[in-house]
Structure 1
Amino acid sequence: MVRVATYFAMTFGAFLFWQSMDRVHVWIALHQDEKKERMERELEIKRMQAELMAQAKESDS
């Protein structure tokens, strides 16, 4: 009986471990996507700033 209970507990523990690892991987992937999108937005803002600075220099000349 102890062996059966131990086997069940180990199996259940392994199941919980894999489920938590799956959630961790999903969380990491989502945060990587958010970071990539944020960096793309920052690059677009910098590009627009450079464009506006170039236009301002042309209009001043």
Structure 2
Amino acid sequence: MVKVATYFAMTLGAFVFWQSMDKVHVWIALRQDEKQERLERELEIKRVREELLQQAKQRETQA
């Protein structure tokens, strides 16, 4: 009886462990996606800023 209870407890523990690890992996993946999206937005903002600065310099030289 003790062996069966121990086996059941270990099986349940393994199941809970794998479920929690799956949730952790999903959380990490989402966090990495959010970080990548934020970096892409920042790069786009920098690109647009540089473009606007170039246009402003061209207007200054023409005026």
Question: With structure 1 as the length reference, what TM-score do the two structures score?
Answer: 0.99
Structure 2 regions of 5+ residues with no counterpart?
A: none
Structure 1 outlier segments of 4+, above 3 Å: none
**Percent of counterpart pairs with the same letter?**
74
How many residues of Structure 1 are paired with residues of Structure 2 in the alignment? 61
CA–CA separation in structure 2 for the residues paired with 1:21 and 1:15 = 10
Q: For 1:37 and 1:6, how far apart are their aligned partners in 2?
A: 46
Superposition deviation, residue 28 in structure 1: 0.4
How far apart are the structure 2 equivalents of 1:44 and 1:3?
61
CA distance in 2, matches of 1:31, 1:55: 36
- The CA deviation at 1:46 is 0.1
- The alignment status of 1:30 with 2:35, answered yes or no, reads no
Q: Which residue of 2 is the match for residue 48 of structure 1?
A: 48
Give me the TM-score of the superposition, normalised by structure 2: 0.96
**Backbone CA RMSD of aligned residues:** 0.3
